[in-house]
Structure 1
Amino acid sequence: MGFPYIQRKVERQMGEGLILVNTGDGKGKTTAALGVALRSAGCGRKVLILQFIKSGANYGELAGIALLPTVEIRSMGKGFIFHKQEESEEKMKEHQQAAKEAWAMVETEVKSGQWDLIILDEINYAIHYGLVDVETVVNLLKTKPESLDMILTGRNARPEIIELAHTVTEMKVIKHAYQQGIKAKRGIEF
Protein backbone atom coordinates (compact mmCIF):
# COMPACT_ATOMS: atom_id res chain seq x y z
CA MET A 1 0.00 0.00 0.00
CA GLY A 2 1.31 3.40 -0.82
CA PHE A 3 0.44 6.82 -2.05
CA PRO A 4 1.51 7.69 -5.60
CA TYR A 5 2.28 11.31 -4.75
CA ILE A 6 4.88 10.35 -2.15
CA GLN A 7 8.33 9.67 -3.47
CA ARG A 8 9.85 6.74 -1.64
CA LYS A 9 13.32 7.88 -2.52
CA VAL A 10 13.75 11.59 -1.98
CA GLU A 11 16.65 13.60 -3.25
CA ARG A 12 18.27 15.69 -0.57
CA GLN A 13 16.91 19.19 -0.62
CA MET A 14 19.57 21.76 -1.19
CA GLY A 15 19.71 24.92 0.84
CA GLU A 16 19.86 25.79 4.47
CA GLY A 17 18.66 23.21 6.93
CA LEU A 18 16.37 24.64 9.54
CA ILE A 19 16.81 24.66 13.30
CA LEU A 20 13.54 24.50 15.22
CA VAL A 21 13.12 24.75 19.00
CA ASN A 22 10.06 23.58 20.94
CA THR A 23 10.25 24.88 24.50
CA GLY A 24 8.09 26.20 27.34
CA ASP A 25 6.19 24.79 30.30
CA GLY A 26 3.22 23.52 28.31
CA LYS A 27 2.51 20.07 26.94
CA GLY A 28 3.38 19.26 23.35
CA LYS A 29 7.08 19.88 22.77
CA THR A 30 7.96 16.30 21.88
CA THR A 31 4.54 15.76 20.33
CA ALA A 32 5.11 18.65 17.91
CA ALA A 33 8.54 17.30 16.97
CA LEU A 34 7.03 13.86 16.37
CA GLY A 35 4.47 15.49 14.09
CA VAL A 36 7.29 16.91 11.98
CA ALA A 37 8.93 13.47 11.98
CA LEU A 38 5.67 11.98 10.69
CA ARG A 39 5.42 14.64 8.00
CA SER A 40 9.04 14.06 6.98
CA ALA A 41 8.48 10.29 6.84
CA GLY A 42 5.51 10.91 4.58
CA CYS A 43 7.86 12.71 2.21
CA GLY A 44 10.33 9.82 2.28
CA ARG A 45 12.89 11.71 4.36
CA LYS A 46 15.18 9.89 6.81
CA VAL A 47 14.63 10.96 10.41
CA LEU A 48 16.57 10.18 13.59
CA ILE A 49 15.14 10.95 17.02
CA LEU A 50 17.54 10.86 19.96
CA GLN A 51 15.90 11.11 23.38
CA PHE A 52 18.16 12.52 26.08
CA ILE A 53 16.10 11.87 29.21
CA LYS A 54 13.58 9.14 28.39
CA SER A 55 14.83 5.64 29.01
CA GLY A 56 12.87 3.80 26.32
CA ALA A 57 10.43 2.13 28.67
CA ASN A 58 6.82 1.94 27.57
CA TYR A 59 6.36 5.19 25.59
CA GLY A 60 3.73 5.12 22.85
CA GLU A 61 5.96 6.91 20.37
CA LEU A 62 8.39 3.98 20.35
CA ALA A 63 5.77 1.56 18.99
CA GLY A 64 4.37 4.14 16.57
CA ILE A 65 7.74 5.04 15.11
CA ALA A 66 8.55 1.36 14.59
CA LEU A 67 5.86 1.46 11.90
CA LEU A 68 7.67 4.17 9.93
CA PRO A 69 10.48 2.70 7.81
CA THR A 70 12.42 5.95 7.38
CA VAL A 71 12.31 7.00 11.04
CA GLU A 72 14.49 5.70 13.85
CA ILE A 73 14.21 6.53 17.54
CA ARG A 74 16.80 5.87 20.22
CA SER A 75 16.01 6.47 23.89
CA MET A 76 19.36 7.22 25.49
CA GLY A 77 18.43 8.56 28.94
CA LYS A 78 18.01 7.08 32.38
CA GLY A 79 14.52 8.41 33.04
CA PHE A 80 13.19 11.70 34.26
CA ILE A 81 15.15 13.98 36.55
CA PHE A 82 12.92 15.15 39.35
CA HIS A 83 13.69 18.84 39.58
CA LYS A 84 11.67 19.39 42.75
CA GLN A 85 13.63 16.73 44.60
CA GLU A 86 17.31 16.18 45.02
CA GLU A 87 18.62 13.34 42.86
CA SER A 88 21.21 11.15 44.56
CA GLU A 89 24.80 11.64 43.52
CA GLU A 90 24.83 8.11 42.11
CA LYS A 91 21.69 8.75 40.05
CA MET A 92 23.11 12.03 38.70
CA LYS A 93 26.28 10.19 37.64
CA GLU A 94 24.08 7.74 35.70
CA HIS A 95 22.33 10.68 33.99
CA GLN A 96 25.70 12.29 33.19
CA GLN A 97 27.11 9.10 31.68
CA ALA A 98 23.97 8.52 29.61
CA ALA A 99 24.09 12.13 28.34
CA LYS A 100 27.77 11.78 27.46
CA GLU A 101 27.03 8.64 25.42
CA ALA A 102 24.01 10.27 23.79
CA TRP A 103 26.04 13.33 22.82
CA ALA A 104 28.77 11.16 21.27
CA MET A 105 26.04 9.52 19.19
CA VAL A 106 24.67 12.94 18.17
CA GLU A 107 28.06 14.04 16.90
CA THR A 108 28.53 10.81 14.94
CA GLU A 109 25.07 10.88 13.40
CA VAL A 110 25.13 14.58 12.50
CA LYS A 111 28.43 14.05 10.66
CA SER A 112 27.22 10.83 8.98
CA GLY A 113 25.19 12.62 6.34
CA GLN A 114 22.57 9.86 6.31
CA TRP A 115 19.73 11.85 7.93
CA ASP A 116 17.49 14.61 6.61
CA LEU A 117 16.13 15.52 10.05
CA ILE A 118 17.57 14.89 13.50
CA ILE A 119 15.46 15.56 16.57
CA LEU A 120 17.26 16.07 19.88
CA ASP A 121 14.36 15.33 22.20
CA GLU A 122 14.72 16.79 25.69
CA ILE A 123 18.16 18.27 24.92
CA ASN A 124 17.12 21.52 26.59
CA TYR A 125 16.54 19.60 29.84
CA ALA A 126 19.97 17.99 29.48
CA ILE A 127 21.54 21.43 29.08
CA HIS A 128 19.51 22.89 31.96
CA TYR A 129 20.66 20.12 34.34
CA GLY A 130 24.30 20.47 33.27
CA LEU A 131 24.42 17.09 31.54
CA VAL A 132 25.41 18.65 28.20
CA ASP A 133 27.30 21.92 27.79
CA VAL A 134 25.36 24.60 25.91
CA GLU A 135 28.46 25.73 24.00
CA THR A 136 28.98 22.19 22.72
CA VAL A 137 25.42 22.21 21.36
CA VAL A 138 25.84 25.69 19.87
CA ASN A 139 29.05 24.63 18.10
CA LEU A 140 27.35 21.58 16.65
CA LEU A 141 24.43 23.65 15.37
CA LYS A 142 26.84 26.13 13.76
CA THR A 143 28.84 23.38 12.03
CA LYS A 144 26.12 20.87 11.12
CA PRO A 145 25.78 19.87 7.46
CA GLU A 146 24.15 22.70 5.55
CA SER A 147 21.00 20.85 4.49
CA LEU A 148 20.35 19.00 7.78
CA ASP A 149 17.18 20.05 9.61
CA MET A 150 17.26 19.80 13.41
CA ILE A 151 14.65 20.10 16.15
CA LEU A 152 15.56 20.64 19.81
CA THR A 153 12.90 20.08 22.48
CA GLY A 154 12.52 20.61 26.20
CA ARG A 155 11.83 23.34 28.71
CA ASN A 156 14.27 26.10 29.52
CA ALA A 157 15.80 26.58 26.07
CA ARG A 158 18.90 28.70 26.50
CA PRO A 159 19.12 32.12 24.79
CA GLU A 160 22.14 30.92 22.78
CA ILE A 161 20.03 28.13 21.28
CA ILE A 162 17.06 30.41 20.64
CA GLU A 163 19.32 32.91 18.87
CA LEU A 164 20.53 30.26 16.39
CA ALA A 165 17.08 28.81 15.69
CA HIS A 166 15.02 29.69 12.64
CA THR A 167 11.75 28.84 14.40
CA VAL A 168 11.07 28.85 18.14
CA THR A 169 7.75 27.75 19.59
CA GLU A 170 6.96 28.20 23.25
CA MET A 171 4.30 25.87 24.62
CA LYS A 172 2.32 27.61 27.35
CA VAL A 173 0.02 25.94 29.86
CA ILE A 174 -3.44 27.41 29.84
CA LYS A 175 -5.05 24.40 31.47
CA HIS A 176 -3.84 20.83 32.00
CA ALA A 177 -5.69 17.69 33.08
CA TYR A 178 -2.99 17.03 35.71
CA GLN A 179 -3.99 20.26 37.48
CA GLN A 180 -7.46 18.75 37.83
CA GLY A 181 -6.14 15.58 39.44
CA ILE A 182 -6.28 13.50 36.24
CA LYS A 183 -3.30 11.18 35.85
CA ALA A 184 -1.20 10.99 32.66
CA LYS A 185 -3.01 8.97 30.00
CA ARG A 186 -1.31 6.42 27.79
CA GLY A 187 -1.47 7.50 24.17
CA ILE A 188 -1.88 11.15 25.14
CA GLU A 189 0.98 12.00 27.51
CA PHE A 190 3.21 9.00 26.87
Structure 2
Amino acid sequence: MAHVHADTPFAPLGIAVLTVSDTRGFDRDGSGDLLGERLSEAGHALVERRIVPDDIYRIRAVVSKWIVSDDIQVILVNGGTGFTARDTTPEALTPLFDRAVDGYGELFRQLSFESIGTSTIQSRAVAGVANATLIFAMPGSPKACATAWDGILADQLDARTRPCNFVAMVMPEQSACASRVPGTAPDHGQGAHA
Protein backbone atom coordinates (compact mmCIF):
# COMPACT_ATOMS: atom_id res chain seq x y z
CA MET A 1 0.00 0.00 0.00
CA ALA A 2 1.52 3.32 -1.07
CA HIS A 3 0.68 6.12 1.35
CA VAL A 4 -0.23 9.43 -0.26
CA HIS A 5 1.40 12.73 0.65
CA ALA A 6 -0.79 15.75 1.35
CA ASP A 7 0.66 17.62 -1.66
CA THR A 8 0.16 14.83 -4.23
CA PRO A 9 -1.32 16.34 -7.43
CA PHE A 10 -4.23 14.92 -9.43
CA ALA A 11 -3.05 12.54 -12.17
CA PRO A 12 -5.39 12.02 -15.13
CA LEU A 13 -5.67 8.39 -16.17
CA GLY A 14 -6.47 6.88 -19.55
CA ILE A 15 -9.63 4.82 -19.08
CA ALA A 16 -11.43 2.45 -21.45
CA VAL A 17 -15.09 1.49 -21.01
CA LEU A 18 -16.46 -1.85 -22.17
CA THR A 19 -20.18 -2.59 -22.12
CA VAL A 20 -21.08 -6.28 -22.23
CA SER A 21 -24.54 -6.77 -23.73
CA ASP A 22 -26.31 -8.87 -26.34
CA THR A 23 -28.95 -6.20 -26.92
CA ARG A 24 -27.56 -2.69 -26.39
CA GLY A 25 -26.06 -0.37 -28.96
CA PHE A 26 -24.46 3.01 -28.24
CA ASP A 27 -27.87 4.67 -28.58
CA ARG A 28 -29.16 2.68 -25.56
CA ASP A 29 -25.99 2.28 -23.49
CA GLY A 30 -26.90 4.34 -20.43
CA SER A 31 -24.28 2.59 -18.31
CA GLY A 32 -21.45 3.30 -20.73
CA ASP A 33 -22.69 6.88 -21.04
CA LEU A 34 -22.72 7.29 -17.25
CA LEU A 35 -19.21 5.90 -16.80
CA GLY A 36 -17.85 8.01 -19.65
CA GLU A 37 -19.41 11.15 -18.20
CA ARG A 38 -18.29 10.44 -14.63
CA LEU A 39 -14.68 9.71 -15.54
CA SER A 40 -14.46 12.76 -17.82
CA GLU A 41 -15.97 15.02 -15.15
CA ALA A 42 -13.36 13.70 -12.72
CA GLY A 43 -10.57 14.80 -15.08
CA HIS A 44 -9.63 11.46 -16.65
CA ALA A 45 -9.52 10.67 -20.38
CA LEU A 46 -11.96 8.30 -22.07
CA VAL A 47 -9.50 6.59 -24.41
CA GLU A 48 -11.83 4.03 -25.97
CA ARG A 49 -15.35 2.69 -25.59
CA ARG A 50 -16.74 -0.55 -26.97
CA ILE A 51 -19.79 -2.80 -26.74
CA VAL A 52 -19.43 -6.57 -27.09
CA PRO A 53 -21.90 -9.45 -26.72
CA ASP A 54 -21.92 -11.66 -23.62
CA ASP A 55 -19.20 -13.98 -24.90
CA ILE A 56 -16.14 -14.98 -22.88
CA TYR A 57 -13.73 -14.84 -25.79
CA ARG A 58 -14.95 -11.57 -27.29
CA ILE A 59 -14.77 -9.88 -23.87
CA ARG A 60 -11.32 -11.33 -23.24
CA ALA A 61 -10.08 -10.30 -26.71
CA VAL A 62 -11.00 -6.63 -26.21
CA VAL A 63 -9.59 -6.48 -22.67
CA SER A 64 -6.40 -8.30 -23.74
CA LYS A 65 -5.84 -5.68 -26.43
CA TRP A 66 -6.41 -2.86 -23.96
CA ILE A 67 -4.07 -4.19 -21.25
CA VAL A 68 -1.12 -3.91 -23.64
CA SER A 69 -1.97 -0.34 -24.66
CA ASP A 70 0.32 2.33 -23.25
CA ASP A 71 -2.59 4.81 -23.31
CA ILE A 72 -4.89 2.80 -21.02
CA GLN A 73 -4.30 2.47 -17.28
CA VAL A 74 -7.84 1.47 -16.25
CA ILE A 75 -10.59 -0.64 -17.84
CA LEU A 76 -14.19 -0.36 -16.65
CA VAL A 77 -16.41 -3.27 -17.70
CA ASN A 78 -20.16 -3.14 -17.14
CA GLY A 79 -22.56 -6.03 -17.65
CA GLY A 80 -22.40 -9.80 -17.57
CA THR A 81 -21.74 -10.16 -13.83
CA GLY A 82 -24.93 -11.94 -12.83
CA PHE A 83 -25.80 -15.64 -12.65
CA THR A 84 -27.58 -16.34 -15.93
CA ALA A 85 -25.98 -18.67 -18.45
CA ARG A 86 -24.99 -15.66 -20.59
CA ASP A 87 -23.30 -13.79 -17.70
CA THR A 88 -19.65 -14.64 -18.27
CA THR A 89 -17.73 -11.45 -17.56
CA PRO A 90 -15.94 -12.79 -14.43
CA GLU A 91 -14.95 -15.95 -16.29
CA ALA A 92 -13.61 -13.84 -19.16
CA LEU A 93 -11.58 -11.52 -16.95
CA THR A 94 -10.20 -13.50 -14.02
CA PRO A 95 -7.76 -15.60 -16.09
CA LEU A 96 -6.18 -12.32 -17.24
CA PHE A 97 -5.55 -11.03 -13.70
CA ASP A 98 -1.99 -11.04 -12.37
CA ARG A 99 -3.57 -10.22 -9.03
CA ALA A 100 -7.20 -10.00 -7.92
CA VAL A 101 -8.58 -7.00 -6.01
CA ASP A 102 -10.93 -8.97 -3.77
CA GLY A 103 -12.00 -5.98 -1.68
CA TYR A 104 -13.64 -4.31 -4.67
CA GLY A 105 -16.37 -6.93 -5.05
CA GLU A 106 -16.86 -7.10 -1.32
CA LEU A 107 -17.25 -3.33 -0.99
CA PHE A 108 -19.47 -3.09 -4.07
CA ARG A 109 -21.88 -5.63 -2.60
CA GLN A 110 -21.85 -3.86 0.75
CA LEU A 111 -22.74 -0.54 -0.88
CA SER A 112 -25.42 -2.02 -3.12
CA PHE A 113 -27.03 -3.82 -0.17
CA GLU A 114 -28.31 -0.40 0.93
CA SER A 115 -30.47 -0.12 -2.20
CA ILE A 116 -31.22 -3.68 -3.33
CA GLY A 117 -30.94 -5.70 -0.12
CA THR A 118 -29.93 -9.33 -0.28
CA SER A 119 -30.20 -9.37 -4.08
CA THR A 120 -26.68 -7.95 -4.00
CA ILE A 121 -25.31 -11.49 -3.55
CA GLN A 122 -26.23 -12.10 -7.19
CA SER A 123 -23.64 -9.55 -8.28
CA ARG A 124 -20.30 -11.05 -9.21
CA ALA A 125 -18.47 -7.73 -9.40
CA VAL A 126 -14.75 -8.47 -9.74
CA ALA A 127 -11.53 -6.52 -10.15
CA GLY A 128 -7.89 -7.18 -10.73
CA VAL A 129 -4.61 -5.98 -12.14
CA ALA A 130 -3.25 -7.27 -15.45
CA ASN A 131 -0.02 -5.97 -16.94
CA ALA A 132 -0.14 -2.94 -14.60
CA THR A 133 -3.66 -2.13 -15.83
CA LEU A 134 -6.57 -1.97 -13.40
CA ILE A 135 -9.74 -3.79 -14.44
CA PHE A 136 -13.04 -3.25 -12.63
CA ALA A 137 -16.20 -5.17 -13.61
CA MET A 138 -19.63 -4.18 -12.37
CA PRO A 139 -23.27 -4.97 -13.17
CA GLY A 140 -24.72 -3.39 -16.30
CA SER A 141 -27.41 -1.14 -14.85
CA PRO A 142 -26.73 2.61 -14.68
CA LYS A 143 -27.55 2.53 -10.96
CA ALA A 144 -24.93 -0.17 -10.34
CA CYS A 145 -22.36 1.74 -12.39
CA ALA A 146 -23.09 4.87 -10.35
CA THR A 147 -22.65 2.87 -7.14
CA ALA A 148 -19.28 1.55 -8.33
CA TRP A 149 -18.01 4.92 -9.58
CA ASP A 150 -19.35 7.19 -6.84
CA GLY A 151 -18.77 4.81 -3.95
CA ILE A 152 -15.40 3.29 -4.88
CA LEU A 153 -13.73 4.22 -8.14
CA ALA A 154 -13.84 8.02 -8.03
CA ASP A 155 -11.68 7.98 -4.90
CA GLN A 156 -9.48 5.01 -5.71
CA LEU A 157 -8.60 6.43 -9.15
CA ASP A 158 -7.69 9.83 -7.68
CA ALA A 159 -4.00 10.16 -6.78
CA ARG A 160 -4.93 12.58 -3.99
CA THR A 161 -7.08 10.10 -2.03
CA ARG A 162 -5.51 9.43 1.33
CA PRO A 163 -4.24 7.33 2.90
CA CYS A 164 -3.85 5.34 -0.34
CA ASN A 165 -5.28 4.71 -3.80
CA PHE A 166 -4.60 2.63 -6.91
CA VAL A 167 -2.97 5.33 -9.04
CA ALA A 168 0.53 4.52 -7.83
CA MET A 169 0.00 0.95 -9.03
CA VAL A 170 -0.56 2.00 -12.63
CA MET A 171 1.55 5.17 -12.58
CA PRO A 172 4.34 4.41 -10.06
CA GLU A 173 6.04 7.75 -10.61
CA GLN A 174 2.95 9.51 -9.24
CA SER A 175 3.14 8.78 -5.55
CA ALA A 176 5.84 6.95 -3.73
CA CYS A 177 5.38 6.38 -0.05
CA ALA A 178 8.06 8.13 2.00
CA SER A 179 8.24 5.11 4.28
CA ARG A 180 9.14 2.92 1.30
CA VAL A 181 11.75 5.07 -0.42
CA PRO A 182 15.22 4.22 0.91
CA GLY A 183 16.66 6.96 3.06
CA THR A 184 13.37 8.87 3.52
CA ALA A 185 11.49 6.80 6.08
CA PRO A 186 11.01 8.47 9.43
CA ASP A 187 12.77 6.59 12.22
CA HIS A 188 10.25 5.68 14.89
CA GLY A 189 12.47 3.02 16.37
CA GLN A 190 10.16 0.32 15.04
CA GLY A 191 11.62 -0.42 11.61
CA ALA A 192 9.81 -0.16 8.29
CA HIS A 193 6.02 -0.19 7.90
CA ALA A 194 4.35 -3.40 6.81
| TM range, smaller chain | 0.3 to 0.5
Identify which of structures 1 and 2 has the higher relative contact order when contacts are C-alpha pairs closer than 8 Å and 6+ apart. 1
TM-score, normalization: structure 1? 0.34
